[in-house]
Structure 1
């Protein structure tokens, strides 16, 4: 029997957390079944589905699609926006000038990297034009082109717009003004958190003292990953009971809590590793890398069996939510997190557990209310 429409299951690369599938449009019943399964996600830019890379999920898919699927290597086509581009010497010079200006503006290294990537595609798209002469309408059409053809995310769309604005204002020194470029509506997703029980399991998972110490520090003090990497030994103020966070987001200094439990672990860590300057150093003596911390967290998640969607930043979200659950004042939490606006911190009030133990329904306050329950009929 010849199968005209076949499902393709791509072999995941080593240590990949998800595997991907291609389901032809005509196989609607199979696609609808996959939608109903846990951990599935649709990658619109690749037109592929994915599931968590577990033996159970692989067996489930193989059993359901028996006889109509084929296994293929990991050579999944990347989104076409990632295709290689060729930049002229003038474009390379423009990018170098952009990098210089962005550094002088004290933008973060990650922001500079994202802006330069966005501008390289922008320059390539308008390669036959004089950039100062490109109109606002043309810029808006370019963003629409990226959004409609490549299905870029809302975050990517904002990055592209901000990069172009930065180029015209910082590099070409044009006056700061409003660009009539449609921004995506800001999503209102609730932050993902670990429960207290999950935190306990997660923090006990690493056997390596440094790895456990890093996760403890991020959770117990509510740090961003970049703030943990930039911690110096001098930032540990044990007598006063706080961590000093220098040049955090938006170049703001702040103080956050130093747990006595964390301090005890940090002292053991210091005796064992003897860092010279940075609190968490790599093997070469420089700062520990963000990728290494992400790998530590991912390993702890897999070993402890907690929420598989958790990231390093989930530890920071959990810090804020757990403090709110303990009744800590929102303004204090705002200060420890380094939020400039209380509205940013208020998002954590929406993720507090809601049940009949933490709140009462107005139905419970009605007086003389009789509950009438009809007997089931045969």
Structure 2
């Protein structure tokens, strides 16, 4: 793929800043300009020809690009053609300089729409607010996703013109035409509520008569202990130890991969999970069976840390606030990932080399492959180990509230789904305890 000429890029970036395009979107705008220039080169088109942008946008549509992406691409190309075309043999004198296109490309302004710039700013504001509130990256991704879906639904209307009726129509559209699940519809509602309150700075009001997506009963996939062991036996280090912690402590995958050295208290036999779902902390007992493996992994982390320090790396990735407060923390042992990535990551711009943790996708892929090699007939993911953890505790007659605390659930109703995975041991017949034989009471106690 062609690279953007340096002079073109310099002027284009200046144009983005001048036109108020949020810095967070600059990378995407550069990408679309690069794609446009490459497209024109591939099909021998002049970049300033009125037909070139239209053909480029049509090509994006044929590739089933989301509408908001096509709009963003159109805006990027529009800014390039409006002010950032650098003369390179196309000018009359042949001198390098800024040159306007001969005419505004037909239909390009219509494709962009006056509202696009305001939507771009609204999306950037949404990202900024979410980051200010220190929400998780998954929440950020989800809220931005639903805001863009709302933009597609609204068409060319500006975000400030949206009302509760528009939200009602969108939520109904999701249920009736898109057939989303009840949880997805609720997620969209929460995302738009946040968008209205913190970006548009107005309230929904009451939203009535929305067609609700049908809530289907959910019964999680659970493995037997033998099946858990068979999958783990098929995993290579360090993925086998990751799976043992997922099952042995009931962790979510992101909670496990975000573990740092200081989260392990081997003397007390406790593991502290920081910033779990909902930014909550909790402590869970460490499985005694895998303590030797955990200590061996700690030694590997120490050796890798020493090697990284000698190589002059900049440290591990930390939350921005933590790094500002503890400037030396990224290079300290206690802050190192317990499951570090195999290679260092180079930060674009600063060229610093930092270490990240294992990638979720790699773990999921390894677990799926291991389940296949184990010849299991169940759908197995990383979360299946967490489901199995809760179900096996329930089978061992652990109190549901205890299981709730170990899982980090805010509402016991969420934990109650596991009661559907085990046979009921409840006595159905109503009897007075006076009618119980003493031996039966002693047995139940």
TM-score normalised to structure 2 length: 0.58
Aligned to 1:195: 224
Are the counterparts in 2 of residues 191 and 317 from structure 1 also a CA contact under 8 Å?
A: yes
1:156 & 1:320 partners in 2: Cα distance?
24
Q: Which runs of 5+ in 1 are unaligned?
A: 1-77, 363-378
Deviation of the 1:292 alpha carbon: 1.3
Displacement after TM superposition at 1:258 (Å): 0.3
Change (3 A) 1:235 1:290: same
Unaligned runs of 5+ in 2: 1-61, 73-115, 306-335, 345-354, 430-445
Secondary structure of 1:86's match? helix
Aligned to 2:261: 233
CA RMSD of aligned residues (A): 2.6
Note the 1:18-57 alignment, pairs <5 A. Answer: none
Residues 29-73 of structure 1: CA distance to partner in whole angstroms, max 9, x if unpaired?
Answer: xxxxxxxxxxxxxxxxxxxxxxxxxxxxxxxxxxxxxxxxxxxxx
Change (3 A) 1:343 1:159: closer
SS where residue 256 of structure 1 aligns? Answer: strand
Provide the secondary structure at the position in 2 that maps to 1:243: strand
- Rounded to whole Å, the distance in 2 between the matches of 1:321 and 1:137 is 43
Q: How many residues align?
A: 282
Q: Does 1:91 align with 2:119?
A: yes
Greater fraction helix: 2
**CA pair 353-79 structure 1, distance change in 2 beyond 3 A:** farther
Query: Which residue of structure 2 aligns with residue 158 of structure 1?
Result: 186
| 1:302 alignment counterpart | 372
The correspondence for 1:172, drawn from 200, 203, 208, is 200
Given that 1:86 and 1:124 are in contact with CA atoms closer than 8 Å, whether structure 2 keeps it comes out as: no
Which residue of the partner structure matches residue 279 of structure 1? 338
Are residues 1:217 and 2:245 paired?
yes
Tell me the distance in 2 between the aligned counterparts of 1:361 and 1:153.
34
C-alpha distance in 2, partners of 1:348/1:239? 32
> SS where residue 356 of structure 2 aligns?
coil
Distance 1:148 1:361, change over 3 A: closer
Partner of 2:381: 311
Distance change >3 Å, CA 79–CA 166, structure 1 → 2: farther
In 2, the alpha carbon distance for the partners of 1:121 and 1:170 equals 18
Question: Post-superposition shift, 1:190?
Answer: 1.3
1:135 deviates by 2.4
Residues 101 and 179 of structure 1: is their aligned pair in 2 closer, same or farther, counting only changes over 3 Å? farther
Q: CA deviation at 1:108?
A: 1.5
Does structure 1 conserve the Cα–Cα contact (< 8 Å) formed by 2:165 and 2:207? no
Correspondent of 2:360 among 282, 285, 290: 290
1:327 to 355, 373, 397: 397
2:407 to 337, 346, 366: 337
Task: Tell me which moved more, 81-90 or 335-344.
Answer: 81-90
Q: Whose radius of gyration is greater, 1 or 2? A: 2
Report if aligned partners of 1:198, 1:306 keep a CA contact under 8 Å in 2.
Answer: yes
Distance (Å, rounded) in 1 between the aligned partners of 2:272 and 2:198? 32
Tell me if 1:270 matches 2:255: no
| Gap change, CA 1:345 and 1:145, over 3 Å in 2 | closer
SS in 2 for 1:138: helix
Is the Cα–Cα contact under 8 Å of residues 81 and 150 in structure 1 kept in the other structure?
no
